Amino acid sequence: MEKCCNTKPQEKKTDHFEGDGHDHGHSHDTSDKTTFQLFLPAVISFVLLMIGVALDNYIKTEWFTGWVRIVWYSAAYIPVGLPVLREAYESIIKGDVFSEFFLMGIATIGAFVIAQYPEGVAVMLFYAVGEVFQTLAVTRAKSNIKSLLDQRPDEVTIIKDGQPQTVKAEKVEIGAIIQLKSGEKLGLDGELLSESASFNTAALTGESKPDTKAKGETVLAGMINLNTVSQVKVTTAYQDSKLSKILELVQNATAQKAPTELFIRKFAKVYTPIVVFLAIGIALLPYFFVADYQFKDWLYRALVFLVISCPCALVISIPLGYFGGIGAGSRNGILFKGSNFLDSLAAIQNVVMDKTGTMTEGVFKVQEVDFKSGFDKNEILKLVNLLESQSTHPVATAIHEYVGEIDHTIPMDNVEEIAGHGLKATINGKELLVGNFKLMDKFNIKYDINPDNIVYTLIAVAYDNTFVGYLTIADTIKTDAQLTINKLKALNIKTTMLSGDKTSVVKYVADALGIQNAYGDLLPEDKVNKVKEIKAKNETVAFVGDGVNDAPVVALSDVGIAMGGLGSDATIETADVVIQDDMPSKIPMAINIGRKTKQIVWQNIVLAFVVKGIVLILGAGGLATMWEAVFADVGVSLIAILNAVRIQRMKF
């Protein structure tokens, strides 16, 4: 995915979603038209057609014959037929000869050639009505996704020379001070300068409950200030904000096609020219085999065959189904990077999850400090706090909150982070080690306790090659973690927890939640090996983690799900699916959305093939008229569309 900064912010709001790869009358923009304006050509055509049919069959008049009749039905045809003929012409210019517009054009013009004027108008009229319904359905599906695009305010109020000044958000520089009034939406990411403020974060998380931030905490573009006037120091450029990245992700989602979608598109390109040549064969070949061959009759059959064969039920309803799935996800705070991941999630058999920040809150607190009597507890804690300031791990935050201010006057050199173990540095010429007990083993530090007997997470400390003692740190299980596991089990999905935390802690959390398999004390490469073991059984795997430290596992898994899209830029960049509000219960919800989307897509495929197959055979045999052809084309399309839009109303 391209970085957000490669796209101008203004363009993001107006980009057209090219989701279906198939214009359906959209190449001539209909976005500004009302529903009445969209239906008006069809209404005019319908009125003229009904009057013509009445004059033909019920109100016999001498003047409604010959060229008058032809002109009348032509006038009825033009409002609905001309746009389709124009689309056919433009498709041919682009090299796409066998489009559905071409099919409808030659079928209806052919009906006029054999003097079947009412049927020619009726076929194009029903087709046009179907197109309008398709346009409305696609617009609605896209609007669920595009509703996020209006979440960024264009202007912000900054404090310059002590005076408030309104400027374009995209021109605000890092370090500027934004003044945010009550009810106003923040335009850029920043650091809260006011003592505290409450924000509505619905634009980012899907959750509208207030989130209170304290001075110094990060606040993000799209958040709405709920109470007093607040001040925010800008820390990120407009185009690099979390919301901008989320918006780009949503916009690009429809470009990633599902295998089913890609297959149907390729199928339509092969299928359409085949049916055109079959129609030519139906019109001409019987001349050599049928004794009483009438060209007009066989041409009519060929035209019916062409109308029936139009693949629009497949070509529009399938992308529409995936639009619906992506839209349903975005409404629930789940961002899919493409419809292909909806398909992948539908087939998932295993969910492998990290522990910290995924099933637990990731908010650690120091419970106990147990240092040996020969060491100055306060002095050692100062050194540990200084070293941990080099890490962004939640454990480092817990230690900082427990110890307090960092003493940067202490000289520290040779800082090194040892993956899966901890931190090492030289302070006052002596080596300081802070990490798990594997770190102690790695540096041959002798200790006299059994870490397995303590359930809490342990942070071991060694100074000058001597074991100092340990800190115990505890995390809490998320409130909806149990519900998540119960729902995954109901979906017949196996659950596994992998963590770098000590095995006793991992087992404790797994047992409390009912997770089937749990492994602790794992290095990043160990996690990869565990996932490889599952995949070796030919089973699909979704990995849920932070999308940064677990990048190798995310790359290996069939679907990478990132918890906390607000927590890390890299999360949005690397994951296939982003859960914005840190709620693990969104994992089974995402799988449900994927399964329901795939189910609806296949219902539409089967419906279209079965109905069209039956009517194609009847049409070729002369047993189906243009009216059956209309049902097979427009009728099936409308049924498929109505089925596809159901997903937008479902609750997961």
Beta bridge partners of 163: 160
DSSP 152-189: S-SEEEEEETTEEEEEEGGGPPTT-EEEE-TTPBP-S-
The contacts of residue 317 (CB under 8 Å, 6+ apart) are 604, 608, 637, 640, 641, 643, 644
Are residues 167 and 156 in contact, defined by beta-carbon separation less than 8 angstroms? yes
Nearest to 466 by CA among 450, 495, 446, 480: 446
Strands 559-563 and 541-545: parallel
Amino acid, res. 199? F
What is the enclosing helix (H) or strand (E) of 466?
strand 466-474
User: 489-508 b/e with 16+ CB inside 10 Å = b?
Assistant: eeeebbbbbbbbbbebbbbb
Q: What is the dihedral of CA 305, 307, 313, 315, to 10 degrees?
A: 90
Residue 651: strand, helix, or coil: coil
Residue 649: strand, helix, or coil: helix
CA pair distance 294, 280, nearest whole angstrom = 15
Q: Is 521 a catalytic residue?
A: no
Cα 356 to its chain centre, rounded Å, is: 24
Residue 457: strand, helix, or coil: strand
Cα 175 to its chain centre, rounded Å, is: 33
Are residues 213 and 196 in contact, defined by beta-carbon separation less than 8 angstroms? yes
Strands 412-418 and 422-427: antiparallel
- Alpha helices of 197-258 — where are they, by DSSP H? 202-205, 242-253
The contacts of residue 183 (CB under 8 Å, 6+ apart) are 224, 225, 226
- Which residue among the candidates 354, 546, 581, 582 is catalytic per the annotation? 354
CA pair distance 10, 275, nearest whole angstrom = 44
Amino acid, res. 357? G
Are residues 241 and 188 in contact, defined by beta-carbon separation less than 8 angstroms? yes
Strand arrangement of the beta sheet that strand 541-545 belongs to: 334-336, 577-579, 559-563, 541-545, 350-353, 494-498, 517-519
Q: Which residues participate in catalysis according to the annotation?
A: 354
